[in-house]
């Protein structure tokens, strides 16, 4: 299919187009030069999709004569958008790179031009999570709410669920209601969830603020109510290109449909095998079923991989082939054969990290720069043992998109509590005195500083001397003092791991994190306990709290900035879109990767896609590793099913896996698969769905607890939500969210 010629284009400013096309393979060239109509490009990892997108933009400008301002190119991150602009500028020589942006960024452009259609000024605020939390703080103080009513994290999730699922027309209140009426709706609310939701809408309108959900909702509303404005943007955007289409959600899909309705020139690029964001609304079906939505869609397969060796691709193909819901395809290697994919099963996490150190050092001594090596993991807490091994071996490293283990807030807080038991130093006191909240705010802390300066003592001593003063009545200062004094007396001769457990429990710190819903931080604290236990067992009975604090100070004081020649460490999600000559994927254990939080077969397929993404980050060398032994809770550690998914002939194992271990691992995996099947019916009920109960009548699902196999439901006739077990025999789900339609029994429950 050809292109519409616009009069010779703008040749001569950028590169020679003939040379550009000559450097593309057949599939890439087809993608670049096919302009009119709907195109779906299935682009495998490392297939040059970013190059194809950039060249297509340049082709439209240089050859077809399309103005850059008439082209929309959507990426999924601001970083990707910046890189795309740089590429296109290098190709065309033109500073005008049109609309190259994220969906949300492009909506900002639309609203800055047309926000008057909804009564909003052009200078509206785009709200981030910090802004949302600040609003929530105001609401909680105004209405006397506490974190026991709802944590900030749950409040943000609740607001998003209500906006996207339960009350999708919420934005009409923000647009149509006056500020006074919206405030009254907030003040009339009785339930905490309603107070928070309507109060949040009021706060948004009060400052003309829009969060990410609002940006697309408001844009779609303008397009639905103002056909003239919709047509203006449709006519302006002659060509629409969307990268990472496998990550698109329902609202973004609607926006795409609205924008391409005039010229009908749509070009999407994606890889269903790299769909790893369903937890934030991405749906693989939009890519897989695009040809059904747009008959006549042409599909282009870009399977030639220019990144990885044949050995790496063979392992990745073997792994992802175990997924059922996918387009069957294999990445095709173009590079010369390289080293086999290595696989190592260590006895412990520490031994796993030690093996990685040996491999990394060997590569470095062979001339490979540290920065050409990356360590990937499923979750940040897995990095603890690796970081300690790197520090001990003096291997420079940098944490990408995160902070080093001993620099994380919860770890620093825990260490500060331990330091208080020994040193009572001011730095530790300032860090933990009001964490959790003890009503020791700025005024009282200022008084302590003044007293300490006048009497030449520590802040803690100042607190001891002033406990009976009126200023500290009504605070929890005495609880802090009692905690420090009692645990300090008990610490001598007691294992450090036990002391830490007592500190975290008795201080209320762990309870605070559970209340906030900070599971990742709790996981990090569990990893710290494991690290201390390992240190104790390897150092003998001589270990004291002072010894450990000196040891950990060396770890925490290390400079691990991101710049320079350093090994890169990051989660797999952070590695999406990146590539490295040598990749080490560690923590390949059941319960770690795949995550223990997986509850459905669909979620397990996404975990496998995540593993596929990890493997395909590697260019020249790939090493997979797991640790044996037992977890901190005493459960045995088994190698990941993803290791067992790969054809053994494709792996160069450092030692033979014992038949007994493999047999036990497969039995555990089969048991897990049965559990996933048992949970699937439960998982079909989602927050926001309307249900009917035999006793309580109609209600709305607020939350699903897969661990308890239960739902939290707000019934219409009851003032407070109730827990309802799926097998209780009285719940029937609705086919839609309106309360009308065919009823379906849940887990075999009888339809009332």
Residues annotated as catalytic are 49-50, 243-244, 274, 617
SS3 state of residue 751: coil
Distances (CA, A) of 431 to 70, 152, 165, 566: 54, 22, 40, 31
- Contacts of 422-425 with CB under 8 Å at 24 or more apart are 422/488, 422/491, 422/545, 422/546, 422/549, 424/458, 424/460, 424/461, 424/484, 425/458
Distance, CA of 712 to chain centre:
25
DSSP β-bridge partners for residue 743: 734
Q: Whole-angstrom Cα distance, residue 521 to residue 503?
A: 16
Q: In the β-sheet with 99-101, what is the strand arrangement from edge to edge?
A: 99-101, 71-74, 239-242, 266-270, 38-43, 298-302
SS3 state of residue 385: helix
Q: How many residues does the chain have?
A: 752
* Nearest Cα to Cα of residue 232 among 70, 64, 42: 70
Q: Whole-angstrom Cα distance, residue 450 to residue 231?
A: 66
Q: Whole-angstrom Cα distance, residue 192 to residue 197?
A: 9
594 and 312 in contact (C-beta within 8 Å)?
Answer: no
What does residue 239 show for φ and ψ, rounded to 5 degrees?
Answer: -135, 130
- Structural tokens at position 193: 């969830």
Q: Whole-angstrom Cα distance, residue 471 to residue 450?
A: 14
Number of Cα atoms under 13 Å in the Cβ half of residue 556:
18
Distances (CA, A) of 476 to 19, 414, 440, 532, 629: 73, 19, 8, 29, 42
Task: Name the one residue in this structure whose structure tokens are 């590539």.
Answer: 579
Q: Whole-angstrom Cα distance, residue 17 to residue 1?
A: 18
* Nearest Cα to Cα of residue 202 among 172, 217, 180, 218: 180
Burial letters for 515-524: b for 16+ Cβ neighbours within 10 Å, e otherwise?
bebbeebbeb
195 and 189 in contact (C-beta within 8 Å)?
Answer: yes
């Amino acid at each position: 299919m050809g292109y519409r010629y616009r009069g010779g284009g703008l040749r001569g400013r950028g590169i020679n187009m003939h040379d550009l096309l000559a450097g593309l393979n057949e599939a890439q060239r087809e993608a670049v030069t096919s302009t009119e109509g709907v195109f779906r490009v299935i682009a495998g990892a490392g297939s040059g999709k970013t190059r194809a997108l950039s060249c297509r933009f340049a082709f439209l400008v240089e050859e077809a004569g399309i103005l850059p301002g008439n082209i929309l190119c959507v990426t999924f991150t601001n970083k990707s958008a910046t890189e795309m602009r740089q590429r296109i500028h290098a190709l065309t020589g033109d500073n005008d790179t049109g609309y190259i942006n994220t969906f949300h960024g492009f909506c900002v452009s639309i609203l800055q031009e047309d926000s008057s259609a909804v009564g909003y000024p052009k200078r509206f605020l785009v709200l981030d999570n910090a802004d949302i939390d600040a609003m929530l703080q105001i609401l909680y103080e105004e209405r006397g709410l506490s974190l026991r009513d709802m944590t900030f994290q749950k409040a943000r999730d609740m607001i998003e669920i209500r906006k996207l699922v339960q009350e999708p027309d919420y934005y009409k209140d923000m647009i149509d209601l006056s500020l006074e009426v919206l405030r009254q709706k907030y003040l009339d609310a009785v339930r905490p969830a309603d107070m928070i939701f309507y109060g949040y809408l009021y706060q948004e309108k009060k400052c003309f603020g829009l969060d990410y959900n609002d940006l697309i909702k408001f844009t779609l509303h303008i397009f639905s109510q103002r056909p003239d404005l919709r047509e203006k943007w449709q006519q302006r955007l002659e060509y629409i290109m969307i990268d990472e289409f496998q990550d698109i959600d329902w609202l973004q899909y609607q926006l795409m449909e609205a924008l391409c309705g005039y010229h009908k020139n749509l070009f999407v690029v994606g890889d269903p095998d790299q769909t790893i964001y369903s937890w934030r609304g991405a749906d693989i079906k939009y890519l897989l079923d695009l040809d059904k939505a747009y008959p006549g869609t042409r599909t282009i397969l870009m399977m030639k991989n220019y990144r990885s060796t044949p050995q790496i691709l063979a392992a990745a193909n073997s792994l992802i082939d175990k997924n059922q819901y996918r387009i069957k395809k294999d990445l095709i290697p173009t590079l010369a054969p390289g080293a086999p994919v290595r696989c190592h099963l260590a006895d412990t996490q520490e031994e796993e990290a030690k093996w990685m150190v040996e491999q990394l050092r060997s590569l470095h001594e062979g001339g490979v720069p540290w920065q050409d090596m990356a360590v990937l993991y499923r979750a940040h807490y897995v990095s603890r043992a690796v970081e300690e091994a790197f520090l001990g071996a003096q291997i420079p490293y940098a944490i990408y998109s995160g902070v080093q283990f001993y620099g994380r807030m919860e770890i620093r807080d825990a260490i500060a509590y331990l330091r208080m038991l020994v040193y009572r130093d001011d730095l530790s006191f300032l860090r933990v005195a009001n964490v959790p909240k003890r009503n020791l705010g700025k005024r009282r802390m200022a008084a302590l500083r003044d007293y300490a300066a006048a009497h030449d003592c520590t802040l803690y001593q100042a607190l001891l001397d002033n406990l009976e003063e009126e200023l500290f009545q009504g605070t929890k200062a005495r609880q802090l003092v009692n905690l420090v004094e009692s645990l300090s007396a008990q610490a001598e001769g007691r294992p450090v791991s036990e002391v830490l457990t007592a500190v975290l429990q008795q201080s209320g710190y762990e309870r605070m994190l559970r209340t906030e819903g900070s599971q990742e931080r709790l996981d990090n604290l569990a990893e710290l306990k494991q690290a201390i236990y390992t240190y104790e067992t390897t150092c003998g009975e001589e270990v004291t709290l002072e010894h450990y604090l000196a040891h950990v100070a060396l770890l925490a004081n290390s400079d691990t900035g991101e710049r320079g020649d350093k090994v890169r460490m990051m989660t797999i999600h952070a590695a999406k879109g990146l590539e490295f000559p040598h990749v080490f994927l560690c923590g390949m254990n059941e319960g770690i990767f795949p995550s223990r939080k997986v509850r459905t077969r669909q979620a397990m397929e996404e975990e496998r896609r995540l593993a596929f993404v990890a493997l395909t980050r590697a260019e020249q060398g790939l090493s997979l590793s797991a640790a044996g032994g037992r977890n901190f809770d005493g459960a045995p550690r088994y190698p990941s099913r993803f290791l067992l998914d790969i054809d053994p002939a494709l792996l160069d194992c450092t030692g033979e896996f014992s038949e007994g271990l493999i047999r036990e691992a497969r039995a555990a995996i089969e048991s897990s698969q049965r559990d996933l099947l048992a949970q699937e019916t439960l998982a079909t009920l989602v927050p926001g769905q309307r249900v009917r109960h035999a006793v309580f009548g109609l209600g709305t699902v607020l939350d699903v607890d897969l661990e308890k196999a239960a739902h939290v439901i707000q019934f219409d006739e009851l003032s407070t939500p109730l827990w309802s077990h799926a097998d209780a025999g009285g719940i029937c789900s609705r086919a839609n969210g309106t309360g009308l339609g065919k009823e379906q029994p849940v887990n075999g429950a009888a339809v009332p």
